[in-house]
Amino acid sequence: MDSNILNNLKLTKVAASKIDTFDFENVKFGEKFTDHMLVCEYKNGEWGTLEIKPYAPITLDPSARVFHYGQAIFEGMKAYKEENNDIWMFRPDQNFERFNKSAIRLAMPAIDETRFIGGLKELIKVEKEWVRKGLGNSLYIRPFMIATESGVIASPSNEFLFCILLSPAKSYYAGKIKVQIADYYSRAANGGIGAAKAAGNYSAQFYPTKLAQEAGFNQVIWTDSNHTHLEEAGTMNVFFRINDTLFTAPTSDRILDGVTRKSLIQLGESLGYDIKIESVQVDTILNAAKNGTLKEIFGAGTAAVVNQIEGFSYKDQYYQLPEMADEESYALQLKNALTKLQNKLADDPFNWTVKI
């Protein structure tokens, strides 16, 4: 960490906090934000001064490159407060590394660790009262970067804005969901930007997800361009349990290297699970569903942590997954173990948690 960068951080506080009027019990995921945000501009080939200032709209020229050529990336992270009021982040180094991989893929400048992690720590210190104690409570962290240079020339921007927003959160999804396996639309392609956490990846999902929801489903399980292999579930990585083996697809150009995914894999292996990281064929899952060996499907991501899937549709045929006692569910066992670790209610043998 470069202490000079943090020592020169500019702090402007709100005149009056809105925290006393904030409904922490009924907040919807990602809708409301804390009093302050962190910003930093990239100009003339270098990152400038960090600034923490009141949360407010950002003013951009209508010709800013982000509006025309889509140079926009983001991350999703969380912070937790334990009973003694210490605040912890979960594996911020992984989000920092992935953020810069996304930046490089979209011809954007990498940002240094001091501005990303150091700046984030300073922002959370300012907003520490917004982090609530209790299992299920967290502070969702949204770092993002956008291209801000004016001009509609089809070329990479030379100016960028890095920003971090904070949003109190509870569970993202409630209960089990039904999904539709994609047989026409694809989320990403070889050589594309599927492995980057780029804004365009998500906008491309909205229309087929809307169609799935109109058909009575919550999300889509994405397949490759040939629609023969299963890849991601909605905005999450996805796991399949056949008998007592967990399968999940390896990361690639098309699949995001999810922090929750890799944590669940390591956690599951430490618990003695049989986990195979290999391509998962649609036919394999269909056959397992038909012969009764498909026990569970669940998504994994920062917002939901683990989201159970109760059934899926493929080519207008619906497959219901078997009912399972909570104590027998790998999804719930993993979710319980990971959330306890994140909330400092269990030991962290992996050193994943970082104190603010």
User: Residue 288 carries which side chain, given as an amino acid letter?
Assistant: A
Under 8 Å between Cβ of 259 and 141: no
pLDDT of residue 183: 93
Which residue matches tokens 């590394």?
97
| Alpha carbons 58 and 275: distance in angstroms, whole number | 45
Question: 141 - beta bridge partners?
Answer: 77, 166
pLDDT of 173 above 80: no
Catalogue all structural domains in the chain, each as residue range(s) with its CATH number: 3-169 (3.30.470.10), 177-342 (3.20.10.10)
Give residue-wise pLDDT tens across range 185-201. 988 888 889 899 999 98
| Alpha carbons 286 and 291: distance in angstroms, whole number | 9
| Alpha carbons 318 and 257: distance in angstroms, whole number | 29
Beta strands in 95-213 (DSSP E): 138-147, 160-169, 177-181
pLDDT of 148 above 80: yes
The token duo for 346 is 């269990």
pLDDT of 93 above 60: yes
| Alpha carbons 287 and 206: distance in angstroms, whole number | 29
Cα within 13 Å of Cα(211), Cβ side = 12
Q: What is the mean pLDDT of the chain?
A: 94
Q: Residue 172 — very low, low, confident or very high, per pLDDT cuts 50/70/90? A: low
pLDDT of 126 above 80: yes
For range 289-315, the mean pLDDT: 94
pLDDT of 111 above 90: yes
Q: Residue 174 — very low, low, confident or very high, per pLDDT cuts 50/70/90? A: low
Helix 330-342 vs helix 259-270: angle between axes, to the nearest 10 degrees?
Answer: 110
pLDDT of 13 above 80: yes
Question: 201 - beta bridge partners?
Answer: none
| Alpha carbons 18 and 290: distance in angstroms, whole number | 54
Judge residue 95's burial from the number of C-beta atoms within 10 Å of its C-beta, 0-12 exposed, 13-18 middle, 19 or more buried: buried
Share of the chain above pLDDT 70, in %: 99
The token duo for 208 is 């087929």
| Alpha carbons 286 and 223: distance in angstroms, whole number | 14
